[in-house]
């Protein structure tokens, strides 16, 4: 279940204390603090993925075609106007604007 961040709304409308609540995705958002009864609002927070998911480490991984292939990703690189060449993974060697592919074309590479 996800953890949501809530913020107490002070009487003057300013932001107050923040706290976290673990709730189901389908549960309605809280409107008051579970302990004090003060009005609250849910705060939108960017998600965080810990570990090696930093921008620098990801840019290194994305440049290593062998690692991408090993992880099961397919990488295409623009080779011209409307032309993309495969560098890693499964799929057609080239994709062009003149001969687009559909999902069923990719199923043969599963």
Q: Name the token pair of 90.
A: 């499964």
Residue 16 pLDDT: 93
Domain ranges across the chain: 3-43, 58-107
CA distance 90 to 92: 7
CA distance 30 to 68: 42
Residue 68 pLDDT: 82
Q: Could you give the C-alpha distances from 77 to 44, 70, 103, 106, in angstroms and in order?
A: 35, 18, 19, 17
User: Please, where are the H alpha helices in the chain?
Assistant: 55-63, 65-70, 103-107
| Signed CA dihedral, 18, 24, 55, 53: sign only | positive
pTM: 0.43
pLDDT tens digits, 38-62: 999 999 887 766 666 566 665 665 6
- Which segments in the chain show pLDDT lower than 70? 48-62, 105-110
């Amino acid at each position: 279940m996800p953890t949501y961040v809530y913020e107490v709304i002070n009487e003057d409308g300013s932001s107050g204390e923040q706290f976290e609540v673990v709730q189901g995705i389908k549960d309605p958002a809280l409107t008051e603090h579970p302990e004090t009864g003060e009005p609250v609002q849910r705060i939108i927070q960017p998600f965080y993925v810990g570990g090696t998911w930093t921008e620098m480490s990801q840019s290194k991984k994305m440049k290593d075609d062998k690692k991408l292939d090993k992880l099961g990703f397919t990488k295409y690189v623009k080779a011209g106007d409307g032309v993309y060449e495969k560098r890693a993974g499964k799929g057609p060697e080239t994709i062009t604007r003149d001969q687009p592919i559909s999902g069923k074309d990719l199923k043969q590479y599963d």
